[in-house]
Chains A and B, each alone.
Chain A
Amino acid sequence: MSARAHPDFLWRNPDPRPSYDVVIVGGGGHGLATAYYLAENHGITDVAVLEKGWLAGGNMARNTTVIRSNYLWDESAAIYEHSLKLWEGLSAELDYDLMFSQRGVLNLAHSLHDVREGRRRVNANVLNGVDAEWLDADEARAFCPILEVGGHTRHPVLGATLQRRGGIAKHDHVAWGYARGADALGVDLIQGCEVTGFEITGGRVRAVLTSLGRIAAGTVALAAAGHTSVLAARAGLRLPLQSHPLQALVSELLEPVLNCVVMSNAVHVYVSQAHKGELVMGAGIDPYTSYGQRGSFHVIEEQMSAALELFPIFKRVRVVRTWAGIVDVSPDASPIIGTTPVDGLLVNAGWGTGGFKATPGSGWVYADTIASGRPHPLAEPFGLERFTTGALIDEHGAAAVAH
Chain B
Amino acid sequence: MTPDYDLAVIGGGPAGVAGALTAALAGLGVVLIDAAPRLGGQYFRRPAPGFRAGRPGALHHGLDRFTRQCEDLAGRADVLTGHRVWTVERDGGAVTVRCLAGDREERPRTVTARRLLIAAGAHDRPLPFPGWDLPGVLTPGAAQALLKGDLVVAGRRVVVAGTGPFLLPVAAGLAAAGAHVLGVHEAGGRTGLARHPFLAAGKLAEAFGYGARLARHRVPYRGRQAVVEAHGDGALTHVTIADLDRDWNPVATRTVACDTLACGYGFVAQLDLPVQLGCALRADPYGDLAVTVDAGMRTSVPGVYAAGETTGVGGAVLAEAEGRLAGRAVAADLGRRVPPDPVLSRRRDRLAAFARALGEAYPVRPGWRGWLRDDTPVCRCEEVPLAAVREALELGATDARSVKLLSRAGMGWCQGRMCGYAVSCLAGGSPAGDARAGAGGQGGGEARPGAGPAAFHRPIAQPVRLGDLAGTAAEPPRPGPPGTPAEVSHPPTEG
With known contacts A172-B442, A293-B457, A297-B87, A321–B470 Cβ distance under 8 A: no
For B402, give its contact among A54, A304, A319 (CB under 8 Å).
A54
Check if B441 sits within 8 Å of A61, measured CB to CB: yes
Which of B157-165, B329-337, B461-469 forms contacts with chain A? B461-469
With known contacts A315-B467, A316-B466, A152–B415 Cβ distance under 8 A: no
18 intermolecular pairs with C-beta atoms under 8 Å apart? A1-B408, A2-B385, A4-B388, A9-B396, A54-B401, A58-B440, A61-B441, A61-B442, A250-B442, A292-B278, A294-B445, A305-B470, A305-B472, A305-B493, A307-B466, A308-B467, A321-B460, A323-B442
Check if A301 sits within 8 Å of B469, measured CB to CB: yes
For B447, give its contact among A53, A251, A317 (CB under 8 Å).
A53
Could you tell me which residues of chain A, from 312 to 342, have a CB within 8 Å of some CB in chain B? 314-324
Measured between beta carbons, the chain A residues less than 8 angstroms from B464 are: 318-319
Min CB gap A310→B, angstroms? 11
Check if A323 sits within 8 Å of B445, measured CB to CB: yes
Check if A320 sits within 8 Å of B466, measured CB to CB: no
Whether B397 sits at the interface, judged by CB under 8 Å, is yes
Q: Which residue of A lies closest to B447 (CB)?
A: A53
Whether A397 sits at the interface, judged by CB under 8 Å, is no
Measured between beta carbons, the chain A residues less than 8 angstroms from B470 are: 301, 304-305, 307-308, 315
Whether B395 sits at the interface, judged by CB under 8 Å, is yes
For B397, give its contact among A10, A276, A301, A305 (CB under 8 Å).
A10
Whether A371 sits at the interface, judged by CB under 8 Å, is no
Whether B284 sits at the interface, judged by CB under 8 Å, is no
Min CB gap A174→B, angstroms? 12
Min CB gap B324→A, angstroms? 32
Q: Which residue of A lies closest to B88 (CB)?
A: A297
Check if B436 sits within 8 Å of A319, measured CB to CB: no
Residue among A7, A150, A300, A323 having the largest count of chain B Cβ atoms under 10 Å = A323
Could you tell me which residues of chain A, from 163 to 189, have a CB within 8 Å of some CB in chain B? 171-172
With known contacts A2-B388, A320-B415, A57–B493 Cβ distance under 8 A: no
Seen from chain A, the residues whose Cβ lies within 8 Å of a Cβ on chain B are 1-4, 6-13, 53-54, 57-58, 61-62, 150, 152, 154, 171-172, 191, 248-252, 276, 280, 292-297, 300-301, 304-305, 307-308, 314-324
Q: CA separation between A171 and B442, bound complex, in Å?
A: 8
Measured between beta carbons, the chain B residues less than 8 angstroms from A318 are: 463-466
Q: CA separation between A1 and B379, bound complex, in Å?
A: 12
Number of A-B pairs whose CB atoms are under 8 Å?
A: 152
Q: CA separation between A325 and B409, bound complex, in Å?
A: 22
Measured between beta carbons, the chain B residues less than 8 angstroms from A150 are: 479
Measured between beta carbons, the chain B residues less than 8 angstroms from A3 are: 388, 391-392, 395, 406-407
Check if A10 sits within 8 Å of B466, measured CB to CB: no
Whether B444 sits at the interface, judged by CB under 8 Å, is yes
Measured between beta carbons, the chain A residues less than 8 angstroms from B458 are: 321
Measured between beta carbons, the chain B residues less than 8 angstroms from A6 are: 391, 395, 406
Could you tell me which residues of chain B, from 135 to 183, have a CB within 8 Å of some CB in chain A? none
Measured between beta carbons, the chain A residues less than 8 angstroms from B487 are: 152
For A321, give its contact among B391, B415, B479 (CB under 8 Å).
B415
Check if A294 sits within 8 Å of B408, measured CB to CB: no
In this complex, the interface size class of chain B, counting residues with CB under 8 Å from chain A, is: 35 or more
Measured between beta carbons, the chain A residues less than 8 angstroms from B415 are: 320-321
Check if B466 sits within 8 Å of A319, measured CB to CB: yes
With known contacts A172-B442, A308-B467, A308-B472, A53–B391 Cβ distance under 8 A: no
Q: CA separation between A66 and B436, bound complex, in Å?
A: 26
Measured between beta carbons, the chain B residues less than 8 angstroms from A249 are: 443, 469
Measured between beta carbons, the chain B residues less than 8 angstroms from A307 are: 466, 470
Residue among A252, A294, A324 having the largest count of chain B Cβ atoms under 10 Å = A294
For B444, give its contact among A8, A61, A276 (CB under 8 Å).
A61
Check if B408 sits within 8 Å of A320, measured CB to CB: no
Whether B36 sits at the interface, judged by CB under 8 Å, is no
Residue among B96, B415, B463 having the largest count of chain A Cβ atoms under 10 Å = B463
Measured between beta carbons, the chain A residues less than 8 angstroms from B472 are: 305, 308, 315
Q: CA separation between A58 and B401, bound complex, in Å?
A: 12
Measured between beta carbons, the chain B residues less than 8 angstroms from A11 are: 396
Could you tell me which residues of chain B, from 370 to 427, have a CB within 8 Å of some CB in chain A? 384-385, 387-388, 391-392, 394-399, 401-402, 405-408, 413, 415
Quick one: CB contact mask for B22-61 with A, threshold 8 Å, 1 for yes?
0000000000000000000000000000000000000000
Measured between beta carbons, the chain A residues less than 8 angstroms from B396 are: 9-13
Measured between beta carbons, the chain A residues less than 8 angstroms from B446 are: 293-294
Known: A54-B399, A307-B466, A317-B466. 9 other contacts (CB 8 A): A2-B407, A54-B402, A154-B493, A154-B494, A172-B405, A172-B406, A294-B445, A319-B464, A321-B460
Measured between beta carbons, the chain B residues less than 8 angstroms from A315 are: 465-467, 470, 472, 475
Q: CA separation between A292 and B465, bound complex, in Å?
A: 25
With known contacts A150-B479, A322-B443, A57–B436 Cβ distance under 8 A: yes
Whether B340 sits at the interface, judged by CB under 8 Å, is no
Whether B450 sits at the interface, judged by CB under 8 Å, is no
Min CB gap B153→A, angstroms? 33
Whether B439 sits at the interface, judged by CB under 8 Å, is yes
Q: CA separation between A304 and B460, bound complex, in Å?
A: 15
Check if A10 sits within 8 Å of B395, measured CB to CB: yes
Check if B388 sits within 8 Å of A319, measured CB to CB: no
Quick one: CB contact mask for B318-348 with A, threshold 8 Å, 1 for yes?
0000000000000000000000000000000
Q: CA separation between A300 and B397, bound complex, in Å?
A: 33
Residue among B387, B394, B465, B493 having the largest count of chain A Cβ atoms under 10 Å = B465
Whether B471 sits at the interface, judged by CB under 8 Å, is yes
Q: CA separation between A315 and B108, bound complex, in Å?
A: 14
Q: Which residue of A lies closest to B384 (CB)?
A: A2
Check if B436 sits within 8 Å of A54, measured CB to CB: yes
For A2, give its contact among B391, B397, B466 (CB under 8 Å).
B391
Min CB gap A359→B, angstroms? 15
With known contacts A62-B442, A305-B470, A322–B395 Cβ distance under 8 A: no
Whether B360 sits at the interface, judged by CB under 8 Å, is no
Whether B459 sits at the interface, judged by CB under 8 Å, is yes
Measured between beta carbons, the chain B residues less than 8 angstroms from A172 are: 405-406, 442
